[in-house]
Amino acid sequence: MAKRDYYEVLGVSKNASAEEIKKAYRKKAIQYHPDKNPGDKEAEEKFKEAAEAYEVLRDPNKKQRYDQFGHAGMGGAAGGGGFSGFSDIEDIFSAFGDIFGGHFGGFGGFGSSRSYGGGGRRVARGSDLRVKVRLTLSEIANGVEKKIKVKKYVECQHCNGTGAKDASAYSTCSTCRGSGRVTRVANTLLGQMQTTSACPTCQGEGKIITDKCTHCAGEGVTRDEEIIPIKIPAGVGEGMQLNVTGKGNAARRGGISGDLLVVITEEDHPELVRDGNNLIYNLFLSFPEITLGTTAEIPTVESKVKVKIEAGTQPEKILRLRGKGLPDVNGYGRGDLLVRIHVWIPKKLTPEEKKMLEKLLDSPGFQEGPSSSEKTFFEKMKDMF
């Protein structure tokens, strides 16, 4: 089933402000919250859908990529699972619980925030990684799967990312008594003000490791390499950034992994030049060929095609081979291959060749110049586009 437009999901326009997007998401999340719709699978899916849309539209960089490339510029290019990659309802609460101020209970009561200060134990998030992937024109035209080796932090295999030597190597934080949060009261000119923040002793985790894993020194992560397969859709362009959810650096002690940001770069083609979804080929013909007409072999991304050049074709004329360009990254058709005709003039001639051309100067066919009714090159270009 095709994904719905994120703006449609939240019921906002493309020009909506960040605050409007936030309010729209809050409204949808409250409407479809699992506590209000127990056992309703459809409501649960809409709850997840709204969270996925908000995850993209709240971030200016992700929103810009979505506006430019649609769903193809999001995590769908990484091989499925949606852009956000939320594994369950708890993961959504962990990410956005602070938006609701703890109005709901259940599933952690929206209290499992990361570092947003939202009402529960703090969950760490690993940093994002950025890599460049270089593609040929053929790979861009057809789409490709690349396997790249990335050096990054991964979950410690000896402690399963907990940072503790074993399950008994913990004690409850005495400062926050296991809540992960501390409340402070300060006297101000306006009276007493109460603030709540992550516990400074346990960094919001609610517990302290008493016996650390010796392999990761209690961090829960180690440095390693991972080979990551990336599915790149057809039609991507120079500078486009794809997102592979959860394939960045692993977080400390079982937190949420960061993302892998894949930046596309294009290799120059020896014969074809890209112009959006169109391709341009410069065809050079000799004077006899363009005068008498000929058949030329034109390269495309997949193979070569033969094109008939009519006798008397004028220099700078453009021939359009429809559908021989690149596919649109959002699936809106395919570009064309534009063949621009040029005349190759030899710099050196033999005496015999000079005599032949001198005879042509006086012949009737070469005495008549271009008629005033013939269109200029720029007029022809206007007709083409």
Residues annotated in a binding site:
156, 159, 173, 176, 199, 202, 213, 216
236-to-142, 242, 317, 377 alpha-carbon distances in Å: 10, 9, 29, 32
Q: Which two tokens stand for residue 346?
A: 């030899």
Q: Which two tokens stand for residue 43?
A: 């409501």
H/E/C letters for each residue in 327-356? Answer: ECCCCCCECCEEEEEEEECCCCCCHHHHHH
The secondary structure of residue 222, as a DSSP letter, is E
254-to-85, 107, 130, 314, 375 alpha-carbon distances in Å: 16, 18, 22, 69, 70
Look at the block and give the residue holding tokens 């220099």.
315
Helix (H, G, I), strand (E, B) or coil at 164: strand
Contact 176, 167 (CB under 8 A): no
List the binding residues for Zn(2+): 156, 159, 173, 176, 199, 202, 213, 216
Q: What is the DSSP string of 132-143?
A: EEEE-HHHHHH-
